[in-house]
Amino acid sequence: MSDRIHQTTGLRTEVRQDGHLQLSLETSEIERPAPDEIIVEMAAAPLHPADISLLLGPADLSSTVAIGHGVQRTLSATIAPERMAGLATRVGKSLSVGNEGSGVVVEAGQAQKHLVGKNVAVMGGGMLTQYRKVPISDALPLPDGVPVTSGAAVLINPLTALAMLETMRDEGHTALVHTAAASSLGQMLNRICLEDGVGLVNVVRRPEQAQMLRQQGARHVCDSSSPDFVAELSALIAETGATLAFDAVSGGSLASQILAAMERNALASLHGYSRYGSKVRKQIYFYGGMDSRPTELNLWAYGMTWSAGSWLIFDQLPQMAPERSVSLRERISRDMLTTFACDFAGELSLSELLDPENLKRIAARSTGQKYLINPSIGLER
Ligand SMILES: NC(=O)c1ccc[n+]([C@@H]2O[C@H](COP(=O)([O-])OP(=O)(O)OC[C@H]3O[C@@H](n4cnc5c(N)ncnc54)[C@H](OP(=O)(O)O)[C@@H]3O)[C@@H](O)[C@H]2O)c1
């Protein structure tokens, strides 16, 4: 076993007591891997909405001040005083960023030596760094012929989209509604549902997003900016029989509109009158926070047989039967360059990420604007 200690420089984000967010690059050492661990030289890591939220918090990016160059660069931005209360548990903690990524294995524990030199996808946080040590359970070797950058985002969104369908089947639903459906994950979910013959109502917020999904074969698409949105949503829920929704928007009244449309559809086949509404179970899971406004629910519009809750892939995976988990990973490996492919707007080094103009572009989290970070370039001192 090599005694080499890897030094790694990675991105850190910290909310300071004085009401500032500080972004910086920090160098640390990685200990030798345990028998079932690998050390990966990171080549690519996507900035997903959850990574962007952790990276930037509620900082006012128009106030960003940059100091220094290369690895000495730091960025500072103000946080409004009223937002600081919600950040109390974060204050003073320097946090690493990046839920997943891909790279080449440069060192491995005794049981994983065969992986040295191979490309792998990895997850587990702190991926915006040159070298990252992970247990083998957090890695997926890339099949031959898959370029390392194509493996950067093959774990979190693909596993999430597949696990949504596991939830659907486990909880007895047969079709589902998905919001912010033009997202990378939404496009992936659409491809999976088409392959599996599952009814999917895609809810988007712009006409061009509806057109894009239809061009990708989506059969049921509605646009919340349409004046006839509620009628269109109701018609698609009736057509598919969807009784489950995964909501990435969460803020505002969209979730309420979905539950009410499901209840109207259920009542349409109810004979007679029930003061408690339909007996059809309607479920909405909030799984993203693209709209930070409070969620508005109208409890009396959905009858008495409905539930709302949160849903997180990191809670779902440990509950999954091991053979299901293996089967989902095998499907991802097989269809990595097709069903589970993700488009990126561009690639940035860590130093380029610490450019206020790049940060503003990334913070928008717009359709088709997901960036890939290469943590191993541009770290000149
Ligand atoms: N809970 C979990 O376990 C889990 C796991 C993975 C992903 N996620 C969530 O899944 C969602 C999609 O992730 P992704 O990586 O696929 O995202 P993405 O490709 O970056 O796309 C983000 C999408 O959100 C839309 N959007 C942004 N602000 C919005 C708003 N205020 N209202 C409605 N739509 C808005 C954008 O549309 P515009 O162009 O119109 O802005 C875009 O289509 C995110 O919320 C992410 O956090 C959750």
Residue where a domain stops, chosen among 302, 317, 332:
317
Q: Within this chain, do residues 188 and 250 fall inside the same structural domain, yes or no?
A: yes
User: Which pLDDT band holds residue 4 (cuts at 50, 70, 90)?
Assistant: low
Which structural domain range is residue 303 located in? 157-317
The token pair that represents 89 in the structure block: 């548990």
Query: What's this model's pTM, rounded to 2 decimal places?
Result: 0.97
Q: From 179, 184, 185, give the residue whose CB has the most ligand 1 atoms within 8 Å, as the site to mutate.
A: 185
Residues 48-88 have pLDDT tens digits of 999 999 999 999 999 999 999 888 999 999 999 999 999 99
User: Which pLDDT band holds residue 380 (cuts at 50, 70, 90)?
Assistant: low
CATH number at residue 279: 3.40.50.720
Residues 351-362 have pLDDT tens digits of 999 999 999 999
Number of domains in the chain: 2
d(CA 160, CA 140): 15
- Is residue 137 one of the residues assigned to a domain? yes
Q: How many CB atoms lie within 10 A of CB 381?
A: 7
d(CA 112, CA 36): 6
Q: Is any atom of ligand 1 closer than 6 Å to the C-beta of 365?
A: yes
Q: Within this chain, do residues 12 and 132 fall inside the same structural domain, yes or no?
A: yes
Q: Is any atom of ligand 1 closer than 6 Å to the C-beta of 290?
A: yes
- Is residue 324 one of the residues assigned to a domain? no
If you write DSSP's letter for every residue of 137-160 in order, what string do you get? Answer: GGEEEPPTT--GGGGTTSSHHHHH
Q: Within this chain, do residues 169 and 134 fall inside the same structural domain, yes or no?
A: no
The token pair that represents 329 in the structure block: 């990973």
Q: State which amino acid sits at residue 220.
A: H
Q: Within this chain, do residues 167 and 312 fall inside the same structural domain, yes or no?
A: yes
Q: Within this chain, do residues 142 and 212 fall inside the same structural domain, yes or no?
A: no
Residues 217-275 have pLDDT tens digits of 999 999 999 999 999 999 999 999 999 999 999 999 999 999 999 999 999 999 889 99
Residues 165-199 have pLDDT tens digits of 999 999 999 999 999 999 999 999 999 999 999 99
Q: Is any atom of ligand 1 closer than 6 Å to the C-beta of 159?
A: no
Q: Within this chain, do residues 198 and 310 fall inside the same structural domain, yes or no?
A: yes
Q: Within this chain, do residues 184 and 130 fall inside the same structural domain, yes or no?
A: no
Q: Within this chain, do residues 132 and 44 fall inside the same structural domain, yes or no?
A: yes
Q: Within this chain, do residues 222 and 149 fall inside the same structural domain, yes or no?
A: no
Residue where a domain stops, chosen among 277, 301, 317:
317
